[in-house]
Structure 1
Amino acid sequence: MLTELLHGADTGGFLVIQDSTSCSGRHLLESFISAALNREEAVHVLGFDVSEEELTGGLKGSAIERLHFHNAYTDPLGWTDQPSLTLHQFCSEELSHLLKPTSHSKSTILVIDSLSWILRHVNPPAVCKTLHQLRKGGAVRAIIALLHADMHQRGTVGSVCHLASSVIKVAPGMKGDETVAKITKRSKSGKVVQDEEIFSIKEDLSVTVHSKRSQPGLKQTETEEQEADPTANLTFNLRLSDTEREAKEKLALPFVFSKEKKSALLHSGPGSGRILYEPDANDDYDQEDPDDDLDV
């Protein structure tokens, strides 16, 4: 699934690379940038975390000409007189004007490096609204964002990941050059697919997937839950023997009427009682107003 996402199959989607202090997702972000440039797509990077030199250090070739770096690293809050990009410009109107498509590129990819810097200074609902408008507005083909999960509360991370069509959570692998990617992908029909892959990144930023594993220990846990008997250590018996079950089925419940009892109740036979009422002479009963005797 990681290779499929790198090839750009998630058209019109929002991809989140979720990392932490134990494992950085920056190299994977650079691999997505390199893959998009090789597809002759224009890549616009909103750079908050690192400088342009550091981001483009591993990118080589003529494809780098289609990379447009919008510098928010130098002055993100607009303290100088002429800032390149500030947090105040993170809205759908400003970004749509900034991300003008070029005639030499097939489509436009927006890369946010990183979304955590924006979430630390802008209200999270406003950030989610802007991301949603960019996806629906058609200004870009896809959005790729790096998110440092351990910098935010769970609710903020959950809101952003719920908005995303694909989430890649990276974790350290068994070997030094290997990384574990836990991928969650949501299709337009609402179907959710999860996968776990072990990969490594080469010097040319190409990604090699070594193996796939589907959450080890999950099947074993399900088997243990099925084999465990919750009634094993009880001091009383919750199960019925064959004899007890047969006796239970033959027992007539008091609120269940048999056919004979229903017939006897519906068809009264000789000797059945009836209640007859004959008005007395003292009864003041008006047929036109039956409630005339009531003091209302």
Structure 2
Amino acid sequence: MTLFKLKSAPTLLIEDDNNKNILPLLLDVVQQEKSALKIFCFEQPVSLWRKVLQNHSSVTFHKELCCDQYNNIINTKSVIVIDSINQMCLHLGWNECLKCLKRLCSDAKVHKLVMVLHLDCLPFPKLQLHLNHIANAIVSYDLHENNKIRLKLKKGGKMVRSEEILSYDSKLGLLRCTPVVKETSKDDEPVKPLPANLSTFKIEVDQTEKLEKYKLKLPYMSKINEGESKVFYEPDAVDDWDEEDPDEDLDI
């Protein structure tokens, strides 16, 4: 499902560094596209890309892209791959590069735009920020695990984030993405509030108040001997004491 969302995203940004191999993911994203594939080789030579994409039926390679030659190059429905944005910015300048990218994003003939960005050699400080704003899907490779990626998908005006593990099924020849399930520890669970904190008045008593409570002697306690208890009743003067048998009218 994750790869399907990446393939359906009109603008995809792949962030990596020199130690990561992005070809398996990049090829899986573009190899099933029916539109013509156009590779802009600003960084790697055309001969290398021609070997990588030798099985692709309709692919053309270009060494540059600028606004003056735009109409001559983007003349049919195409999938555009730019390798890489870093070298494109150095070659054209940031203003010219940004104009070309915005034109590609708004062009109906561009079925998909895939941009490769090397985070370890950014030519401009805000380059990554601008590209994150343009892209509909962003793939970032983990610094320590080469097969672990972080995904950012724009959906309904919100950014959905997830972590995936890339694996290749040699039998089926398919690239798979397995979501990383984070284990929640007990330390992360919220602390339950104490009953005393839920009320506006004081419920619990402290040690000093307990001692004062034990020292308090009530009036009836003077009548109770240690180890035994009795009930003392003294009739009041106004009590109506009837000594007759209350049940004498019953035939028992």
> What is the TM-score of this pair, normalised by structure 1?
0.57
CA contact (8 A) 1:31 1:206 kept: no
Q: Does 1:166 align with 2:137?
A: yes
CA contact (8 A) 2:28 2:175 kept: no
Measure the CA separation in 1 of the matches of 2:83 and 2:129.
Answer: 19
Which amino acid letter does the alignment assign opposite residue 196 of structure 1?
E
Local SS of the residue matching 1:17: strand
Local SS of the residue matching 2:69: helix
Measure the CA separation in 1 of the matches of 2:189 and 2:27.
Answer: 42
Which amino acid letter does the alignment assign opposite residue 90 of structure 1?
C
Which amino acid letter does the alignment assign opposite residue 227 of structure 1?
V
Q: From the superposition, tell whether residues 51 and 204 of structure 1 become closer, same or farther in structure 2 (CA, over 3 Å).
A: farther
Local SS of the residue matching 2:190: helix
Q: Which residue of 2 aligns with 1:118?
A: 88
The partner residue of 1:66 within 54, 58, 64 is 58
Unaligned runs of 5+ in 2: 204-252
The partner residue of 1:196 within 150, 163, 169 is 163
Q: Does 1:43 align with 2:37?
A: yes
CA contact (8 A) 2:13 2:117 kept: yes
- Aligned-pair CA distance for 1:54: 1.3
The partner residue of 1:90 within 53, 66, 74 is 66
The partner residue of 1:56 within 44, 50, 53 is 50
CA contact (8 A) 2:150 2:161 kept: yes
Measure the CA separation in 2 of the matches of 1:43 and 1:97.
Answer: 15
Measure the CA separation in 1 of the matches of 2:153 and 2:82.
Answer: 19
The partner residue of 2:25 within 9, 24, 28 is 28
Q: From the superposition, tell whether residues 117 and 244 of structure 1 become closer, same or farther in structure 2 (CA, over 3 Å).
A: same
Local SS of the residue matching 1:24: coil
Local SS of the residue matching 2:13: strand
Which ranges of 4 or more aligned residues in structure 1 deviate by more than 6 Å? 202-205
CA contact (8 A) 2:152 2:159 kept: yes
CA contact (8 A) 2:132 2:138 kept: yes
For residues 192-236 of structure 1, give each alpha carbon's deviation from its aligned partner in whole angstroms, at most 9, with x where no partner exists: 22222111347899542252115x36x559x6373399xxxxxxx
- Aligned-pair CA distance for 1:111: 0.8
Q: Which residue of 1 aligns with 2:147?
A: 179
Q: From the superposition, tell whether residues 158 and 207 of structure 1 become closer, same or farther in structure 2 (CA, over 3 Å).
A: farther
- Aligned-pair CA distance for 1:167: 0.5
The partner residue of 2:110 within 114, 135, 140 is 140
> What is the TM-score of this pair, normalised by structure 2?
0.66
Which amino acid letter does the alignment assign opposite residue 208 of structure 1?
L
CA contact (8 A) 1:173 1:198 kept: no
- Structure number with greater Rg is 2
Q: From the superposition, tell whether residues 23 and 161 of structure 1 become closer, same or farther in structure 2 (CA, over 3 Å).
A: same
- Aligned-pair CA distance for 1:15: 0.5
Local SS of the residue matching 1:100: coil
Measure the CA separation in 2 of the matches of 1:227 and 1:213.
Answer: 26
- Aligned-pair CA distance for 1:46: 0.5
Q: From the superposition, tell whether residues 166 and 240 of structure 1 become closer, same or farther in structure 2 (CA, over 3 Å).
A: closer
CA contact (8 A) 2:17 2:118 kept: yes
The partner residue of 2:191 within 227, 240, 246 is 227
For residues 239-286 of structure 1, give each alpha carbon's deviation from its aligned partner in whole angstroms, at most 9, with x where no partner exists: 6976459xxxxxxxxxxxxxxxxxxxxxxxxxxxxxxxxxxxxxxxxx
Unaligned runs of 5+ in 1: 73-84, 102-106, 230-237, 246-296
- Aligned-pair CA distance for 1:125: 4.4
